Amino acid sequence: MAQPEPGPAARTPDVYLLFAHEPYYPSPGTREINTAVVAAGSLLHPQVLQPDGARIHHLLTHGRQPGEIIPLSTLTHELDGGARWSEVGDWEGVTEDLLQLVRDRDCDALGLGLPDISRALMCAGPHSEVRAVGPTAGGYRAYGPADRIEVLAEVGQQLTRAEAGSPLWPGDNLLPPVNSVARPGWTDLQTAEPGEEFGGCSPA
Tell me, what's the pLDDT at 194?
Answer: 32
pLDDT digits (tens, 9 = 90+) for 89-123: 999 999 999 999 999 999 999 999 999 999 999 99
Residue 139 in this model has a pLDDT that exceeds 70: yes
The angle, 0 to 180 degrees and rounded to 10, between the axes of the packed helices 116-123 and 145-163 is 100
Give Cα separations from 122 to 66, 168, 178 (angstroms). 20, 20, 27
Percent above pLDDT 70 for the chain: 81
Q: How confident is the model at residue 180 (pLDDT cuts 50, 70, 90)?
A: low
Vertex 147: Cα angle to 62 and 89 (nearest 5): 35
Residue 136 in this model has a pLDDT that exceeds 50: yes
Of the two residues 134 and 47, the one the predictor is more confident about is 47
Average pLDDT in the 129-133 region?
87
For the chain, how many helices (H) and strands (E)?
5, 6
Residue 5 in this model has a pLDDT that exceeds 50: no
CB 10 within 8 A of CB 31: no
